[in-house]
Amino acid sequence: MKSPAADPAGAADTSGAPAAPLLSVRDLSVTFHAHAEVRAVNGISYDLGAGEHVGLVGESGSGKSAGALALVRLVPDYAEIEGQVMLDGVDLARLTERELRDVRGRRVGIVYQDPFSSLNPVLTIEKQLTEVVRRHSRVRAGKARAEAARLLESVGVPNAAERISDYPHQYSGGMRQRAVIAMAVSPRPALLIADEPTTALDVTVQAQILELLQDLTSEHGTTMLLITHDLAVVAGITRRVMVMYAGRIVEASSTEDVFTRPAHPYTVALHRSLPRIDERRERLMTIEGQPPDPSRPIAGCPFAPRCSARIDRCTMEDPPLMTVPTARRAAAEGWDRRMIREQDGGALFPGPAAPQLTACWNPPPPAEGSPDE
């Protein structure tokens, strides 16, 4: 596993004045009105700074994709989106479908798990890349073809000049993902959503694709939201991590803190399920039990049925996001939400300068010698 990433370009504000975030999400909820009503995302708020690389981590079904794709309304008609999404000061909820189509692609690039979902099987890679270039820069065909070739080379497709005439099925999985990344970064989007971009690939190819994403986004100052169910993927790539469980953000902090002193029992469990090279384990530990059914209302903390640190109030009240010291005092002194809010200075949401946040009444005690002991 790589070590947590150093501060990427633009992520830290050294002037003292907080810079306006590139993306500001407030109280975002997504409900699918299908056979049953499924509350996939339940009131999440966060900010992403310009140039930041942030991980969104959680088990399958925790609402990572629904929450990320709802930012640009890439959800079915039967999905209801609530909340506010501001991109560079523009309220995306107020845009028409046509305006939003322009935002997708030009301002927000998306890389999915399966590159085939972004590629047309009956067109050559050259045709598809050229079309993307022309759509966003309106240059002549010859110039667009030259730019397509340059792009394919820049994402490391071997023999790009020859292989550009191939069809997607003639590429390996890693090459297809490289071609999709070339398309996604071609218009130099401000935000790149990478939704499990390496899950379908071999381990060695995974590392190369992650490195490519990191290099390209750092080079262009692109903000990246890297979605994964595998905590190990965000190490070395992102500076911050938001952990999702049952449609909520349950912990948010620096990648380093998530690895060295996780504050939510779910993050601790995710951590334990990582393969270790220093310990010979017969098999991977999994998190016991199942996440809650999102079509049923939840009383109390959604992790309570699986949580070994559960205390009485956990089954009655869903904890809000709070700073870790506040959580410890809230547990010890039985604080209510009003006292938590007063202590933490109002509504808290993860952002570039936010402290370590947890939605747990009873976080693990600080390790000996740790700064918050």
Ligand X SMILES: Nc1ncnc2c1ncn2[C@@H]1O[C@H](COP(=O)(O)OP(=O)(O)OP(=O)(O)O)[C@@H](O)[C@H]1O
**C-beta of 60 vs 308, nearer to ligand X:** 60
Residue pair 54/242 in contact by the 8 Å Cβ criterion: yes
Answer yes or no whether residue 314 interacts with ligand SF4 by CB under 6 A.
Answer: yes
Which partner from the list ligand X, ligand SF4, Mg ion, none does 309 bind, CB cut-off 5 to 8 Å by kind? ligand SF4
**Residue 244 in the binding site for ligand SF4 (CB under 6 A):** no
Q: Which stretch binds Mg ion (CB under 5 A): 57-65, 103-111, 130-138, 178-186?
A: 57-65
By CB under 6 A, residue 268 contacts ligand SF4: no
- DSSP state string for 148-216: HHHHHHHTT-TTHHHHTTS-GGGS-HHHHHHHHHHHHHTT--SEEEEESTTTTS-HHHHHHHHHHHHHH
- Is 62 a binder of Mg ion (CB under 5 A)? no
Place of tokens 């240059």: 139
**Radius of gyration (C-alpha) of the chain in whole angstroms:** 21
DSSP state, 35?
Answer: S
Any idea which residue has 């959680």 for tokens? 58
Burial class (CB in 10 A: 0-12, 13-18, 19+), 26: middle
Tokens 């590429």 belong to 171
Q: At what angle do helices 324-333 and 337-344 cross, to 10 degrees?
A: 150
Token pair listed for 269: 């469990």
Asked if 321 interacts with ligand SF4 (CB under 6 A), we say no
Judged by the rule CB under 6 A, the positions of this chain that interact with ligand X are 32, 34, 38, 40, 58, 60-66, 76, 229, 294
Contact positions with ligand SF4 (CB under 6 A) in 279-308: 301, 303-304, 307
One character per residue 13-52, x = contact with Mg ion (rule: CB under 5 A): ----------------------------------------
Q: How far apart are CA 235 and CA 242, in angstroms?
A: 13
Dist. CA 234–CA 228, nearest whole Å:
8
User: Given the complex with ligand SF4, which of 188 and 313 has the nearer CB atom?
Assistant: 313
Of these partners, ligand SF4, Mg ion, ligand X, none, which one is at the site of residue 38 (CB under 5 to 8 Å by kind)? ligand X
Cβ 71 to ligand X shortest distance, Å: 12
From ligand X, Mg ion, ligand SF4, none, interface partner of 245 (C-beta below 5 to 8 A by class): none
Picked from ligand X, ligand SF4, Mg ion, none, the partner binding residue 63 (CB below 5 to 8 A depending on kind) is ligand X
Scanning 11-19, 79-87, 310-318, 345-353 for contacts with ligand SF4 by CB under 6 A, the matching segment is 310-318
Other Cβ atoms closer than 10 A to 19: 13
User: Which positions touch ligand SF4 (CB under 6 A)?
Assistant: 264-265, 301, 303-304, 307, 309-311, 314, 319, 360-362
User: Which positions touch Mg ion (CB under 5 A)?
Assistant: 65
